[in-house]
Structure 1
């Protein structure tokens, strides 16, 4: 007698993750760079700057809301993100992008820009506190100083950009002097590390971040009326930029990765520093305009390559992003 086979149950359908559960922090470094690019074009007096800043603001707000879904579901996700390098860089870039958004809104909505700048400063301070907590309990290899430390511990200098835009020049000066010590410590330790060992190829693009503090110091000093200081930091930024330029093949040896987001903001900031300090005049202003023109397609290309990995989950996978 033949037994009647029972039909197999339907395959188990795994529910799709909710909105934002897989949003990777690696989204924010290219957005950070696009904000810098927009402010660079605004420094030239071109309407291109306002167009870029308007579009990037919408992109940032969407990405920021998408990411907030993670810590709102599970706050401990922030600690998991801070434990890995892409998470540290991405979260720092998120709060710093909020500061740049405030700077971009300052000419048109100063009250809103002031509120956003204050919120961004508090958020960045909270993220630094979380990072310090993570570093205290992390293994020794996870506590190694990297250029990403500039984003967390020196990133407050971007508050000086917003402060100058809002007319708070004394605040900008205070931030400038306060950030010199952590920047100098990170530059010094990183220089010693470069002498002692060659960084692995995938990590080399992060070295470009060293250009950002010098450029930002020049921008903030110029906006605060410290012209001599601004020229000094512009010279330092030019020296770092020259070293990076002659090393570009070495920096990109591993091929394209999401770490290429580190190229975007520092290059835009350097061009903006040259344009701001020179007021767009003379040889320095010409160099700034050329660098900005060359950086524009590069930053758009890198940002597109990174952001297109987001919808399919590839960016989260490649950067080991936590899931809420």
Structure 2
């Protein structure tokens, strides 16, 4: 069915007609699973097999495939280097959640914890939807990284352990659909935070945070002026015109796009990855709905309490008026 003379797309894959692409999927042993996907996912997958669009790298299985730290450790190292702003070499990947946080429901699509060459830890997350209270949650994850590092250093160095052995920890959050807080600053897509004293006192505090709103990046960035722009386009866009711009500015990305294009020839693996994504999405959607309901319940309880306090205050005012009226009646 595949004609080697057919034109190739910007990723190096074939450009097929819709009929040819459907034929490939229909002949696949995973075609039944393809039909169980959402209509949007079916369209995405079909367009990719046609060669008219790329893949969404923010889907968990595809991100972990492209940035596999065992096979392609240099890619994750480079991504973290341009985000953090200093040279990073990923040493190893740690379990994404410790026992302290494993019991908590997570709305994170991708969560990977890496140990850097310096000994510092970085927690890289991708969220499809910016969930409630990202600051508070991220503080919990960051604190967990500190404790992990403390436990490891304490175990390795025993009595020789010093708190000066602890390195910085980085919590890096890539948000695909950012929450209201981010849109209140519409002209900025990357937010960096470190702990400092207002007096100028200099102590080495360890927790740093980097939030990147990919949707705002797409809205306000129109050129690829630096390598970080290329990486963020790579992560956030499956449009052919953006892929061309990225590879023209940074030819090294052609290898990544060619690797993605290979999935055109692996429909079973491609469909399996989409099904894994859908399963994660369904789970996270349920958890998000639960959290939103809990937030709504909390808001209604606060409103009810406020009304109750207002009614109580009015009752107190009425009682005071009754007493004053009674006192005046007695005096007359």
- Whether TM-score is above 0.5 comes out as no
Specify which structure has the higher proportion of helix. Answer: 1
Greater relative CO (CA pairs within 8 A, separation 6+): 1
Specify which structure has the higher proportion of strand. Answer: 2
